[in-house]
Structure 1
Amino acid sequence: MADVNPIEVQKALKGAQYPADRDDLVELAERNGAGQDITQELASSSKDRFDGPDDVQRSVFGRG
């Protein structure tokens, strides 16, 4: 995993409507100006759908 900051991930996903599909979150992060490191982490997630911000954090950072 790249050196991705959890706070930056949440900033990149500002305005997300959950539950959300992985591809929708990647697109939102890109529109919000997220760096390639964040969009790659989201895109490479093994999950296809997220129930909320905590679900994203667990998937990206392997917690929970």
Structure 2
Amino acid sequence: MADTPNPIQIQKFLGGIDYPAKREDLLSRAKDSGADQNVMDALEALPDREYDSPTAVSSAISDSNS
């Protein structure tokens, strides 16, 4: 991925989501919040599992881009 969105950008589009949340829930919330394709691509690249906090999402995005 060329331009990985920073955690603040991603969390802006996930505001109000209840954790734990599955990848599908994260994608749905981001889409409903008007996330750009860069953010959607980052979320789609996440492993399909439950995330228990915004920090877990950010860590998984960082890990998937290393």
Indicate whether the TM-score tops 0.5. yes
Give distance in 2, aligned partners of 1:20 and 1:50. Answer: 5
1:18·1:51 contact (CA, 8 Å) conserved in 2?
yes
Structure 2 gaps of 5+ residues are none
Give distance in 2, aligned partners of 1:7 and 1:17. Answer: 17
Partner of 1:57: 58
Identity between Structure 1 and Structure 2 (%): 39
Structure 1 residue runs of 4+, over 4 Å off? none
Partner of 2:45: 44
Q: Residues 1-64 of structure 1: matches in 2 within 5 Å?
A: 1-3=1-3, 4-62=5-63
Q: TM-score, normalised by structure 1?
A: 0.87
